[in-house]
Structure 1
Amino acid sequence: MADSLPGGLVLATQVARETEVRRSSNGVHFATFGETGVADLDLDRMLEAVPTTIVSALKANTYYFVPLALREPAQDLDAASQRKADQPMVARSYTEEFSDAAICHRNVELGHGNRGIFISTRLMGDRFALCFEFFINVAHAFVDEAGVPASFADLAWQQAVANVRGETSLDAWESRNLAFGRPANGEPEAQAPRRNRAASQPQRSFAATLSAAANPAIDEREKTLFLEAGFSDAIAIYLLSLAMDFDYGELREREYPLLAPAALAARLKLVAELFPPNAGYEFAVKYRRRA
């Protein structure tokens, strides 16, 4: 059993050495440590939602579900403990003091190309939040390893060029704007009604209009970041839909507008074609009728 530092803190590397690593039925390597507060059935349902075609790219990763992973050294430790505290640590149980210094997840290099992703289960308000935290980590790891397929890149970029409303995360929203030379938090310019458009724009020749449309000033680096973020988000939302029923509006954040539902559905259907659900899981998109 891992020895505790003062207050019940444990080095993340020690947890990785001394905690049994298990393998879910679909191949995800994981472990639990301390008072996670997560039921075994809920954990299994979440882990096994990841399609085997995605798991195959996660071989270097082990997911550790711990009460709290700290983002910074704890205070008021003696000199010897402070030296240890400079390394990533986890708490074996929840306290308000540790929660103030905790982070949703922390990546720790374990040597020999292996990586531990320590996920703070007790920072999550509910199963929805825990699932999404796990799935977005899985999605980013997959995209880092496998990249973005051309089919998804084409779809997402066509939507961006068409000024489809919103995005799936703040990263995707900002990179998409920056790719078009807009401020990171900017909004695409609204198009004027057809009958007023000629009056609201300076007169240009037809040839000049074609040239401007065919050669937009695109920041290729930001375009790549947008496509990577959008694909990661789409995978995470798709996995979330396999693990549990949820309302798309639950993903809403104040910093950016959510991607229009029809555009998201198109992305998710493509992801489902690329990564079919495992046995026992089903993908479906349901639209709510306006009252």
Structure 2
Amino acid sequence: MAEDVQNTPGSLVQATHVAREAALRKAANGIPYAIFGDTGIADQDLDRMVQAVPAAIAAALTRKLYYFVPLALSESRGEPTMIATAYTPEFSDQAICHRNVPLDGLDGVFISTRLLGDRFALAFEFFINVGHAFVDVAGVPADFDQLVWGQVLADVRGETSLDAWESRNLALAANTGGKPIIDEKAKSSYLEASFSDAVAIYLLSLAVDFDYSELREREYPLLAPQALAERLRLAARLFPPNPGYEFSIRYRRRG
């Protein structure tokens, strides 16, 4: 029984077992998800995080099942994905932020709640997954394409992820006589990366209050705040927040 497995400290079970035993819930926006083991996160916090995904985005995620588990372990070649029912330092060393597992024609996404440290990191991991899944299904809206590529041509500073930063540089890697030469494949990769980033950051803003600087990475400069605000406002127009959620941008005064 699921109760016996979950009460065994430090045990490992196959992800497919978790999928069979964990009771799936369905958020009001239609996203199916389950909570398994000692996640260290209050169920109501996970509920609110999942429900933060606007209905217009959630409707595209029909093939996704989300499982919030303590730790999803890195997969050895040929071996099934294993899930730790509780946190241990040994299992943590072997864990990964998330693992995708095929489940009867659907895609099970097992997210390690105990590896991510806090609600902010967990929410961002979940929303990054949602952003990429949504882009895979829906593509990049023409309005976003026009806005973001206009920012690139205007040489707006920074980007929102390493993928976006690298593909943006490849998209405009050379120019002749002052006229940019565009690599269309790299441009397409860049637009997909920047749009999935924008969706993830927009959803994060609906679920938690955070300072933009918390997203800073060493490998690339963050996108200029005004440019990010333009992207997020467009995302909010395209995908209005669900009832009970609010989108807002607040600027910090210098000095």
TM-score (norm 2): 0.94
| CA displacement at 1:29 relative to structure 2 | 0.4
Partner residue of 2:193 out of 219, 225, 229: 229
SS in 2 for 1:65: strand
8 A contact 1:72–1:101 mirrored in 2:
no
SS in 2 for 1:123: coil
Matched, 1:289 2:253: yes
Which aligned pairs between 1:201-240 and structure 2 lie closer than 5 A?
209=177, 212-213=178-179, 216-240=180-204
Runs of 4+ in 1 over 2 A off after TM superposition: 1-7
- Corresponding residue number in structure 2 for 1:93: 86
Matched, 1:10 2:13: yes
Q: Deviations over 1:246-288 (max 9, x none)?
A: 1000000111100000000000000000000001111011111
CA RMSD of aligned residues (A): 2.0
Q: Residues 7, 49 of structure 1: CA spacing in aligned structure 2 closer, same or farther, 3 A cutoff? A: closer
Partner residue of 1:116 out of 94, 108, 111: 108
Which aligned pairs between 1:43-54 and structure 2 lie closer than 5 A?
43-54=46-57
Partner residue of 1:147 out of 132, 135, 139: 139
Matched, 1:67 2:70: yes
Partner residue of 2:155 out of 148, 155, 163: 163
- Corresponding residue number in structure 2 for 1:32: 35
Matched, 1:173 2:165: yes
State how far apart, in whole Å, the 1-side matches of 2:96 and 2:148 are.
31
8 A contact 1:22–1:31 mirrored in 2:
yes
- Corresponding residue number in structure 2 for 1:203: none
State how far apart, in whole Å, the 1-side matches of 2:33 and 2:119 are.
17
State how far apart, in whole Å, the 1-side matches of 2:91 and 2:75 are.
10
**Percent of aligned positions with the same letter in both sequences?**
67
State how far apart, in whole Å, the 2-side matches of 1:247 and 1:157 are.
25
Matched, 1:130 2:122: yes
- Corresponding residue number in structure 2 for 1:104: 97
SS in 2 for 1:122: coil
Which amino acid in 1 is paired with 2:192?
E
SS in 2 for 1:257: coil
Looking at CA atoms only, which structure, 1 or 2, has the larger radius of gyration? Answer: 1
Partner residue of 2:26 out of 23, 39, 44: 23
| CA displacement at 1:72 relative to structure 2 | 2.8
TM-score (norm 1): 0.83
Which amino acid in 2 is paired with 1:168?
T
State how far apart, in whole Å, the 1-side matches of 2:93 and 2:100 are.
19
| CA displacement at 1:6 relative to structure 2 | 11
State how far apart, in whole Å, the 2-side matches of 1:169 and 1:121 are.
22
State how far apart, in whole Å, the 2-side matches of 1:18 and 1:128 are.
28
Gaps of 5+ in 1: 74-82, 183-207
| CA displacement at 1:7 relative to structure 2 | 5.3
Range with bigger deviation, 170-179 or 4-13? 4-13
